[in-house]
Each structure stands twice: as C-alpha cells, then as structure tokens.
C-alpha cells in the first residue's frame, strides 16, 4: 500500500474519564473485539487474580487504578487501531495531558449515574484547547442513573459543546432494554448477557414484546423529540471539536460498545498535519518524523529497560533505520522497536503516521524530542510542562545504596510523573509532584525496581515561580521562600503560600516571576 493508504487506515485515540467511570473496562472490551485477549479481567479483580490488561504496573493491580498511560495496538475491521488508556487519577493529569498531544481523537466516558465529574471537566478543557474531536460514551446504563436529557443538557452547559445522540436508550437499570441506533437505523436489543440482537427499524413491528412495552414507548416518544428539536449531525463540527456524538451503553455488561466502536472508527479522523518549527508537516510526507511523548523505565524489570514512546507523524518507520535527534543533531540507529498491548510487546518492523512505537532509550531521549530523517532538521511543538504543587526532600535510608538511589531518581524523573529540584549549596534532592499518589508510586518503584528504601520529608504545598538568570539574587530567599534549581539548571523560587508570593512581589517588583501553568495555557490557546 502507498503511504497515503496506510495513513488512511490509522485511528489513534485516547480514552479519558473520571476515575471509576469505566475507562479501563472499555479499553478491554475493544481489545476483545480486536481478538487481542480471550477474556477481560475487571479492574478490581483482586480476589480472582484477574487484572485489567492495560494495568501493567504492580501498584495498579493492587489498587485497581491506572497510574500510567498504557498503549495498545491492533488491527480491526480494516483499521489499524492505536488506543492510549490514560490514568484517570488527577495526580497523574500531566501524563494524560502529554498523551493527548499524541492522539487524533478522544473517547470521553461519562458515568450515567453521576454525570460530569471534576477530572472529566479538566481533561475535556485540554481537548478543547487543542481542538481534538471528542466522542462521548454514557456508561453504566445497566444501573439506575440520570435521565438522558439531563446528561445531554449537562454536557452542553458545562462543557459548552453541541451534542448529537448517535444512540438513544430504552430504560435503564432493570428496565434497560437496549438502544435505538440512529446512525444505522436499527434497534440493538439488550438480552442481559453478551449477546446483542440487531433489529432494523423496518422490522420492529414484528416485535410486539418491545413495541407494546410502556418503557419502549416512552423512549420512542423521547427519540421523536430528539429528531425534531435536537441539533443536526455535522461531521465537520465533530472534527473541529465543536460537536460530540453521544452513545449510550454499558462497558461492563458489555452492551452498546460494539455499535459505538464501529461507528467511532468510521467517523474518527485519520492522522492530520502537525505543527513544527518549519510549519505544518503532512503525514504523507516521504521522510520519517515523530516525537517522544512518554518515557517508561522498567516495563521489563528483568532487563532494566527504558522505552521511549514515539508518535509517528510522517513517512515510514522501519526497524534499524538511522534517525537524527532534532534537539542535538546527533544520529541514532533505532535497532529495538516494539508495539504494545500494555506491558506485552512485539517487535515491529514498520510503522506509519498515527502509530505509537516503543524504542529502546539508551538514556539520551527526553519527553518532547523530535526524531527525523532527511536533510532538513526541525522540531515538533513543545509538549506542555506543568508545575508541581507539592514538594518533598528525598534521601536514601541506606547511604550504601547511593548508586541505585541516583539512578532510580534520574530514570523516574525522565518519565515526567515527578520533577526534580536541587538546593544550591545544600545539594538536597527535592522532588515535586501534582499530588500525593505520585509520591507513593515513586517510593514504591524506588523500592521494588531499584531496591532502595527512601525517606520523604514534606515541604508541603508550595507555589513555584521560575526566575530569569540575570535576576537571581540568593540573598532574597530563605527556608520560607526557597531557592532551588530544576534539572535544566533554571532557578525556581518555591513560595510557602499566596501571602509570601504577594509580599515578595511588593518588595521586589523588578524581579519577574514566571508561572509555568499560565505559559502553557497561553501557548496552547494560541496555537
């Protein structure tokens, strides 16, 4: 096939939601359809010993949560599907934000019993900033939940996006009978197990057990109202991120997932041109290029490996090819390359725009790096960096483990879930994170992957502000307003609270304090 045909087959998307809305369960059902697994392990399958395929880290299995972005690749119905299952926990939102730069569409899962929750809103806003097409799946219809009209109204008012119900539910909980599939003009009947019956609209009169049921008749009336008064479907609006197609069902049952998945793949966009320092780069460009959006250490603890995840943006990837690292201009050979179903990997020989490929990292890559072939060197747009909110001093309990301690910190910091700072003169190591769970995962991984017990001394919540090199005066800082360096050597002030920050601004108006979060928001909004 030509590069153009290969690119046209690719569908690369992330699944976002609030914790417990059913994101990982939905991922597993998609893997079942792709014949990648024989049976799905529920996320909280502690007693049975079955765990979700995409939760590969030991701490995720223990807690029943996703704390890393998993990558899964498989063929399905003529498409090459790349799913990125993001962490739902808000402490890992930075990992999710970066993952969203590597996808062409997003599936937003909403718990129909709860509606829009805090983390959903946060992630949705990032998608809107980037103009990513959003498809919505209302989950858990096999339980009593909120009325469909209420849920649609909440999406429109809270998220400020048009809705178009692709399917419409008949009842919920014990009264749940199935969904009207508006796109394919059929009724999908729920049987209470994994079997689904598809009844064309033209044959519904032959099913009086449905049509004479009061719950069905009520839903039919609601559907008429949606047909008459609802928004019209416009694929152009969907692709611009201004309208979201909405599907109803249950990922756990599972019900409505196959209808959703098939429709989604037909509607979701193939890879599109990406912004770089030399302008837009077409996915059909002959020269290979891609960027690293994630680095993961120890996916195989026996080999102490480091894998850099590359989103292919143009041309053809081939195992063993020579590439240039845009940041340094140095050449590398990509000898080891893999595609994944969570922690299981297969050697991959080739890839095209939209594919996510894991390459061996000889400790030279950084998140955001561009890899390319050809004479012209350029870099893709910088990935967002978000400032941490909590800080702790980290030390090794056993000084004899110093070598493992420094190696562990270096590798885990490069993954981007935590950030490293040092105090000049003191040589204290300080790690910063968005939330407490990140510190727990860091401590767990240091112990189990690097065999180092660590001690964490809290500095509490701090407000970080970056400083310009020519404005740094160490005499202005103390333990209350601490001066530290980030891993790039940039000076950062960690203010104890808002009062300390305001007092410093009033006292030293000439010192410019840079808020990294504001910089990111400005950059993304003005892309």
Q: Is residue 145 marked as binding?
A: no
Residue 89: cis peptide before it, omega within 30 degrees of 0 = no
d(CA 405, CA 446): 8
Q: Is residue 211 marked as binding?
A: no
In the numeric block, which tokens belong to residue 382? Answer: 């910088």
d(CA 69, CA 89): 11
Q: Is residue 506 marked as binding?
A: no
Yes or no: say if 143 and 306 are a contact pair by the CB < 8 Å rule: no
In the numeric block, which tokens belong to residue 61? Answer: 């299995």
Closest CA to 54 of 101, 90, 15: 15
Q: Is residue 361 marked as binding?
A: no
Would you call 384 exposed, middle or buried from its count of C-beta atoms within 10 A (0-12, 13-18, 19+)? buried
Closest CA to 71 of 119, 31, 39: 31
Q: Is residue 87 marked as binding?
A: yes
Q: Is residue 139 marked as binding?
A: yes
d(CA 102, CA 95): 11
Yes or no: say if 108 and 120 are a contact pair by the CB < 8 Å rule: yes
Closest CA to 30 of 8, 53, 1, 47: 53
Q: Is residue 470 marked as binding?
A: no
In the numeric block, which tokens belong to residue 56? Answer: 């590969």
Cα 463 to chain centroid distance, Å, stands at: 26
Q: Is residue 118 marked as binding?
A: no
Q: How far is CA 159 from CA 145, 274, 306, 520, 521, in A?
A: 20, 26, 38, 20, 17
Helices (H), 336-431: 402-415
Helices 23-33, 257-267: inter-axial angle, 10-degree rounding: 80
Q: Is residue 407 marked as binding?
A: no
> Hey, which bits of 145-204 come out as E strands?
162-165, 167-170, 178-181, 186-190, 196-200
d(CA 127, CA 148): 23
Q: Is residue 22 marked as binding?
A: yes
d(CA 406, CA 417): 17
Torsion of CA 229, 233, 239, 245, to 10 degrees: 70
Q: Is residue 23 marked as binding?
A: yes
Q: Is residue 86 marked as binding?
A: yes
Sign of the Cα pseudo-torsion (523, 70, 356, 11, in order): negative
80 sits in which H/E element: strand 79-85
Q: Is residue 435 marked as binding?
A: no
d(CA 87, CA 328): 31
Residue indicated by tokens 């891609």: 290
d(CA 6, CA 270): 10
Q: Say which DSSP state 36 is in.
A: S
Query: Known binding site: residues?
Result: 17-24, 85-89, 139-142
Query: Known binding site for GTP: residues?
Result: 17-24, 85-89, 139-142
């Amino acid at each position: 096939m030509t590069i153009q045909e290969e690119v046209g087959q690719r569908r690369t998307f992330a699944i976002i939601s609030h914790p417990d809305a059913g994101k990982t369960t939905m991922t597993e059902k998609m893997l079942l359809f792709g014949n990648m697994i024989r049976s799905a392990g529920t996320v909280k399958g502690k007693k049975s010993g079955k765990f979700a395929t995409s939760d590969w880290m030991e701490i995720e299995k223990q807690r029943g949560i996703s704390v890393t972005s998993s990558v899964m690749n498989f063929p399905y119905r003529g498409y090459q599907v790349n799913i990125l299952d993001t962490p739902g926990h808000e402490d890992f939102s930075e990992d999710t934000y970066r993952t969203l730069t590597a996808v062409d569409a997003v599936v937003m899962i909403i718990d129909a019993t709860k509606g829009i929750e805090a983390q959903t809103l946060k992630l949705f806003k990032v998608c809107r900033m980037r103009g990513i097409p959003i498809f919505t799946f209302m989950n858990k219809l096999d339980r009593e939940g909120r009325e469909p009209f209420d849920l649609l109204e909440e999406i429109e008012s809270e998220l400020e996006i048009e809705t178009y119900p692709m399917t419409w539910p008949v009842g919920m909980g014990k009264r749940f009978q199935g969904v009207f599939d508006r796109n394919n003009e059929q009724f999908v009947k729920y049987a209470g197990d994994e079997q689904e019956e598809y009844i064309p609209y033209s044959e519904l009169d032959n099913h009086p057990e449905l049509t004479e049921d009061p719950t069905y008749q009520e839903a039919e009336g609601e559907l008429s109202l949606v047909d008459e008064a609802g928004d019209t479907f416009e694929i152009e609006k969907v692709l611009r991120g201004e309208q979201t197609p909405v599907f109803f069902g249950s990922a756990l049952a599972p019900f409505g997932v196959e209808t959703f998945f098939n429709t989604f793949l037909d509607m979701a966009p193939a890879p599109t041109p990406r912004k770089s320092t030399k302008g837009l780069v077409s996915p059909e460009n002959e020269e290979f290029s891609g960027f690293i959006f994630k680095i993961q250490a120890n996916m195989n603890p026996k080999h102490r490996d480091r894998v850099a995840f590359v989103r292919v943006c143009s041309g053809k990837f081939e195992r063993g090819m020579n590439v240039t690292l845009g940041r340094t201009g140095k050449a590398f050979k990509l000898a080891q390359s893999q595609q994944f179903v969570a922690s299981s990997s297969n050697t991959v020989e080739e890839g095209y725009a939209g594919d996510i490929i894991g390459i061996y990292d000889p400790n030279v890559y950084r998140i955001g790096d561009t890899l390319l072939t050809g004479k012209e060197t350029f870099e893709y747009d910088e990935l967002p960096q978000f400032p941490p909110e909590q800080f702790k001093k980290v030390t090794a309990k056993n000084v004899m483990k110093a070598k493992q301690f420094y190696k562990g910190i270096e590798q885990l910091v490069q993954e981007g879930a935590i950030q490293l700072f040092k105090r000049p003169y003191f040589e204290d190591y300080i790690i910063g994170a968005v939330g407490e769970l990140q510190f727990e995962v860091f401590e767990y991984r240091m112990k189990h992957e690097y065999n180092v017990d660590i001690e964490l001394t809290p500095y509490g919540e701090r407000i970080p502000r970056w400083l310009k090199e020519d404005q740094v005066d160490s005499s202005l800082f103390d333990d209350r307003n601490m001066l530290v360096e980030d891993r790039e050597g940039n000076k950062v002030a960690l203010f104890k609270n808002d009062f300390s920050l305001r007092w410093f601004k009033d006292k030293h108006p000439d010192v410019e304090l840079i808020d990294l979060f504001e910089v990111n928001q400005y950059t993304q909004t003005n892309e």
